[in-house]
């Protein structure tokens, strides 16, 4: 069996609906379509997606953050949040359990200008890593989302000037390394170890997208045990509608 997963930070789903989301959703025909930064409560949108079950995790603060998963397959269980009270007010994580794996979507907090939210961000990273490791002790994990970090210099256009900035601080990069070392594979980089110019987010300023001055901060991670099942891991930079583009993973496995 072949399973297709898509992840997209839509930077406001209502706005993205006007910029081609329904067409992109239909074209990609994913088994699982994960969203970050939905910026809404479920009752604020009427989304008709025949054949899909909808799972929403919204921030308590209106118009902020939020995640969703649209799934063709009914899960055994659904969990919202990372499981730490102080971190779970912003709608940042959903976990679906299936017989063969856990699927997690995550919208990692941004460390913000001057790294003023770095402490909160690193607390999130630790809780997220612990949660994934706990799940992985039960069955393999597929985790996706906007993880708000460019891991290596190859993962952004201008590493030099950005070193120490949010998303490319030494602390965030090390935290991501620690996550991978805990038993997870960055699927895109595993298949494309030397590919340059592959980005998933571009600033709206300075014609960044036109000039492909971007960052790769949207990921699909899998438990290392799933490496043999990875069929494809792609970045759909041709898709517009947000300052991020969708990323896709194909696995040869059963639900």
Phi, psi dihedral angles at 151 (to 5 degrees): -70, -55
pLDDT at res. 36:
99
Instruction: Count other C-beta atoms under 10 Å from residue 128's C-beta.
Output: 25
pLDDT of 56 reads 98
pLDDT tens per residue across span 175-207: 999 999 999 999 999 999 999 999 999 999 999
Active site residues: 107, 146
Q: Which of 89, 49, 99 is nearest to 69 (CA)?
A: 49
Quote the percentage of the chain above a pLDDT of 90: 99
Tell me how far the alpha carbon of residue 83 is from its chain's centroid: 18
Please choose, from the candidates 109, 120, 113, 122, the residue with its C-alpha nearest in 3D space to the C-alpha of residue 172: 122
Residues in the chain: 255
pLDDT at 1: 85
What pairing do the DSSP bridges indicate for beta strands 141-146 and 218-223?
A: antiparallel
Give pLDDT tens digits for 123-177: 999 999 999 999 999 999 999 999 999 999 999 999 999 999 999 999 999 999 9
Contacts of 15 (CB under 8 A, 6+ apart): none
> 3-class DSSP state for residue 161?
helix
Cβ burial, residue 42 (10 Å; 0-12/13-18/19+): middle
- Global pTM value: 0.98
């Amino acid at each position: 069996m072949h399973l297709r997963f898509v992840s997209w930070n839509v930077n406001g789903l209502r706005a993205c609906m006007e910029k081609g989301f329904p067409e992109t959703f239909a074209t990609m025909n994913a088994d699982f379509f994960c969203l970050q930064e939905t910026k809404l409560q479920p009752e604020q949108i009427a989304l008709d997606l025949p054949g899909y079950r909808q799972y929403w995790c919204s921030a308590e603060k209106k118009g902020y953050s939020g995640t969703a998963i649209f799934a063709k397959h009914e899960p055994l269980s659904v969990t919202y949040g990372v499981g730490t009270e102080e971190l779970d007010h912003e709608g940042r994580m959903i976990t679906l359990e299936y017989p063969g794996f856990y699927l997690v979507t995550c919208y990692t907090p941004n460390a913000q200008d001057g790294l003023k939210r770095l402490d909160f961000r690193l607390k999130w990273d630790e809780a997220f890593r612990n949660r994934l490791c706990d799940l992985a002790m039960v069955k393999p994990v597929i985790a996706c989302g906007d993880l708000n970090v460019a891991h290596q210099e190859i993962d952004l256009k201008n590493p030099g000037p950005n070193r120490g900035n949010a998303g490319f601080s030494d602390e965030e990069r090390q935290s991501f390394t620690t996550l991978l070392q805990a038993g997870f594979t960055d699927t895109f980089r595993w298949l494309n170890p030397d590919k340059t110019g592959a980005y998933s987010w571009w600033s709206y300023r300075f014609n960044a997208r036109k000039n492909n001055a971007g960052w790769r901060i949207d990921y699909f991670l899998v438990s290392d045990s799933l490496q043999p099942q990875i069929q494809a891991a792609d970045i759909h930079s041709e898709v517009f509608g947000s300052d991020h583009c969708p990323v896709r993973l194909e696995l040869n496995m059963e639900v």
